[in-house]
Amino acid sequence: MQTLVRGRCAYEPVYRAMQDFTAARQAHTPDAIWLCEHEPVFTQGLAGRSEHLLAATAIPLIATDRGGQITFHGPGQVVAYPLVDLKRAGYYVKEYVYRIEEAVIRTLRHWNVTGHRVPGAPGIYVRLDDPAGHARLAANSSAGKPNFAGLGKIAALGVKVSRHCTYHGVALNVAMDLSPFEAINPCGYAGLRTVDLSTIGVAVGWEEVAATLGQRLVQGLSP
């Protein structure tokens, strides 16, 4: 699996490049992971609803073909795009998502931060009062809805699978301007707080987090 650090770049050209890469794939095409840091942009999934954009801003909104609702990408966030042939890898979409989330959890663990899954709400979350604590979350659903009490979302996930091949991916917040998240219901959840590593007291650079996440994804997504 090849890892390509694309660095700071606009979102839309990378989105189109992912589509083109996937459409042109052959059975022998190596899998890849692209690591990016985007200029400010809101992106919305196929099922996205306009009411989740709460306020007009100067930040562009781009409709995409991934799953999920609306999220924000901006400087200080590592965005990883795994381009994986799932048929060749030998696992299905549900396990693929689990493996991505596990790579994020292991990346956070490198900085003594405990990442949590919330059933029914893809992505990774941290305890706001104890980011390093290892205790399991209490019951985190109510009436079938995720319960985010005491949690902040530190990584958002949205994927697309075409002909068994993946694109889009996961965004891990490192040290960014979080204010644009106030203009949306992040991933479609009203009141969900978004955090980054800086917010919870971890001072680390984009390059180091990108390298660590890239390594964990390579390890975790290999057949």
pLDDT tens per residue, range 69-110: 999 999 999 999 999 999 999 999 999 999 999 999 999 999
Closest CA to 103 of 187, 205, 189, 219: 219
Query: Is 187 in the active site?
Result: yes
Number of C-alpha atoms within 13 angstroms, CB side, residue 17?
13
Q: What is the pLDDT of residues 166-199, one digit of tens each?
A: 999 999 999 999 999 999 999 888 889 999 999 9
pLDDT higher than 70, residue 139: no
| Ordered strands of the 41-44 beta sheet | 61-63, 41-44, 70-73
User: Does 144 score more than 80 pLDDT?
Assistant: no
| Active-site annotation holder among 9, 36, 165, 187 | 187
For β-strands 32-38 and 2-9, DSSP reports them as parallel
Q: Residue 61's pLDDT is what?
A: 96
Report whether pLDDT(64) > 70. Answer: yes
The single-letter DSSP state of residue 52 is G
Identify the domain containing residue 161 by its residue range: 2-221
Average the pLDDT over 29-47 and give the result: 96
Q: The domain that contains 185 carries what CATH number?
A: 3.30.930.10
Split into its structural domains, the chain has a count of 1
